[in-house]
Amino acid sequence: MITLYSYPELFGVADNNGYGLKVFAFLRLTGVPFTHQHIFDVSAAPREQLPYIVDEGKLIGDSDAIIVHLIGRYRLAIDDGLTAAQHDIRHLVIRMLDDLYWVMSYSRWKDEAFWPSFRDALRREHPSLTEEGLQKAQDYNFRRYYYQGIGRYAAAAAYARGIADLQILANLVPASDYVFGQSPTSIDACIYGFIANILFYPIDTPLKRFVVSHPNLVRHCTEVHNTITSRTLSRVSR
């Protein structure tokens, strides 16, 4: 059986990181049996990044590579009905979500307006975390933000960048059903992974204000969330 290793849950979602959550959602939507282990320690992960899976002894990292592996190995039909143009849209959206990730992370670890609330929520839901450990994680993220570039932005400019990404999603996600029709495809899992980590975040960031002001994003996220949380296909280990 597959084991998914990803960051712990927070705010009612199965992973407080968009990449792990999109893999979780994909596995649930496709019905592939798996176990889920929540971890903070990334030392055993490929490239020391989460999420990763172990599938019959084979370690596979990177959320996109994981999904490609699962589709090929288990002959999953979730994207079989997509046109060439829809595959291109899927690819572009996934790359844009990589950009959105940095703004989401910035809002939690970097922005002093929201960092204390995020820190306190982590400590409250995961008492094993220490102040020293959180400080090390924050320092590490500050370095990543600087070299990636988002850490050199003023807060307003950083959020403008994230909101521009969210606007594309608001234009793309329909008022009913899923992105490409009546059935979910992998793009829906990918979008959910990131929007859920904004929508269910109980702190009023500019990103959350944008999402809650767009009923189509709220509906889509809630529908995927209800679908994947109503299924009992995984066993969670902590």
pLDDT-derived band at 238, boundaries 50, 70, 90: very low
Please report the sign of the dihedral spanned by the C-alpha atoms of residue 200, residue 203, residue 207, residue 213.
Answer: positive
Number of H helices, E strands in the chain: 9, 5
Q: Name the fold adopted by 2-237.
A: Glutathione S-transferase Yfyf (Class Pi); Chain A, domain 2 (1.20.1050)
60's tokens: 């596979």
Question: What pLDDT digit, counting tens, does each position of 101-127 carry?
Answer: 999 999 999 999 999 999 999 999 899
- Is pLDDT above 80 for 235? no
pLDDT recorded at residue 234: 39
**In the chain, what are the domain boundaries?**
2-237
Mean pLDDT computed over every residue of the chain = 93
Identify each DSSP E strand in 144-226 by its residue range: none
Burial (CB count <10 Å: 0-12, 13-18, 19+), residue 159: buried
Question: b/e per residue, 23-35, with b = 16+ CB within 10 A?
Answer: bbbbbbbbebebe
- Is pLDDT above 60 for 142? yes
